[in-house]
Structure 1
């Protein structure tokens, strides 16, 4: 995406030299860039297409099934978007993928949904860790946390059961408007003035 002529850009070589005028130019460029974030996130999600990793469905299909299950279960749009993007980190950080989805959505979702995203990898382990010689009850370290049951329910109803090659998942296009609405404006960010 072009940023116009050099005159439309900040001129500092170090942030310590920056001016309010520089930051006004940067902020003006940030508006369309930030508005396009949902499209960049969805483009990255598409990288999961065709990546089976040994599973019966590819990772994009798993994500679509998870979101479809949540949608058909009557969950709100924010939760559905979390279900759609919960494994988006698989391509960048397969051993800490939950952290990626949680980081992407943190500014846009509730504390409960953020915590669910961040911890779902451990909670999902209840269904398979014992097959790998790991403690399937690893999630018990969080027992008593306000979002424990919420996260356990997500894994049980909308994650561990989303690997069915015959399930009629909604297409990615059906979720695009939801992603755009959820990510339209951050609820919190270090770049937002305190209210």
Structure 2
């Protein structure tokens, strides 16, 4: 099996992290890395094989569906506001039941009571943790899609805005730009275009100019590998039978997430209003 050295080193947390490893640790890490690549290659082969047998809609067909004003909600609405399956639960046409939030809510409270797609995020972060990625990337993988509770379009930017006051700069960068990189394959990192995007965006979809400009910026940035690693973790994190928990990430959250003493939503940060929106999604104004 051909190994991409850059991707391998990045998966271990970079050259600084590798320099601290013993020869035996490096050998073990390489063995695990090769096993993971082989397993993922088999998964991708199955996805591509299934994809060839399916008929995907075109961009024009999807636009025609969006012109239907009798739809119960627009596709970009977050799972807190509309009766839609959110990756963690099937709602069968009903809004998700909510319980009151604690007076000073923490990030873990939002995982428990408000975020959607938590299973997917936990799977993604678990992969990041098991492959030895740096903690800022593990945290980015843990949080990369939690904004889908509120909004789907441009969720990378929305998610980065929500979390920027509380997480390291690398984590913010990775969350903001993982959305864009999802549209662009990278063989060096083993990332392919998601089969699901053929259904969601259309078989003939081409990323809009703003995404192309963003991709070119990120591709040439010194931190390119961080959002790219989030996309790789993202790709293999949709197992409905996976058993995952937030427990392995509590220490990482403690080291890298700046929890305000007033509670999220009440600390007057630039994104407090976004946290309050999740706390009180039924407010009319």
Q: TM-score range by the shorter chain?
A: 0.5 to 0.7
Is 1:110 matched with 2:168?
yes
2:159 partner SS: helix
1:108 partner SS: coil
> Segments of 4+ in structure 1 off by > 4 A?
none
Alignment partner for residue 234 of structure 2, among 156, 159, 171? 159
Is 1:147 matched with 2:223?
yes
Root-mean-square deviation over aligned CA pairs: 3.1
Instruction: Indicate how the Cα distance of structure 1 residues 147 and 64 shifts in structure 2: closer, same or farther if over 3 A, else same.
Output: same
TM-score normalised to the size of structure 2?
0.43
1:135 partner SS: coil
Within a 5 Å distance, the mapping from 1:46-195 to structure 2 comes to: 46-48=114-116, 59-126=117-184, 127-128=193-194, 131=198, 132=202, 133-135=204-206, 138=212, 140-142=215-217, 143-156=219-232, 158-166=233-241, 168-184=242-258
* Deviation per residue, 1:150-188 (Å, 9 max, x gap): 3223212x111211234x4431233334323322468xx
Q: Which runs of 5+ in 2 are unaligned?
A: 1-102, 185-192, 261-267, 270-285
Distance in 1 (CA, whole Å) between partners of 2:225 and 2:146 is 23
Within a 5 Å distance, the mapping from 1:8-27 to structure 2 comes to: none
Q: Could you tell me whether the CA contact under 8 Å between 1:38 and 1:180 is conserved in 2?
A: no
* Deviation per residue, 1:2-27 (Å, 9 max, x gap): xxxxxxxxxxxxxxxxxxxxxxxxxx
Shift of 1:93: 0.8
Q: Could you tell me whether the CA contact under 8 Å between 2:137 and 2:174 is conserved in 1?
A: no
TM-score normalised to the size of structure 1?
0.59
Distance in 2 (CA, whole Å) between partners of 1:185 and 1:165 is 30
2:165 partner SS: helix
Instruction: Indicate how the Cα distance of structure 1 residues 170 and 185 shifts in structure 2: closer, same or farther if over 3 A, else same.
Output: same
Corresponding position of 2:106: 37
Q: Which runs of 5+ in 1 are unaligned?
A: 1-31, 49-58
Instruction: Report which of the two has the higher share of helix.
Output: 1
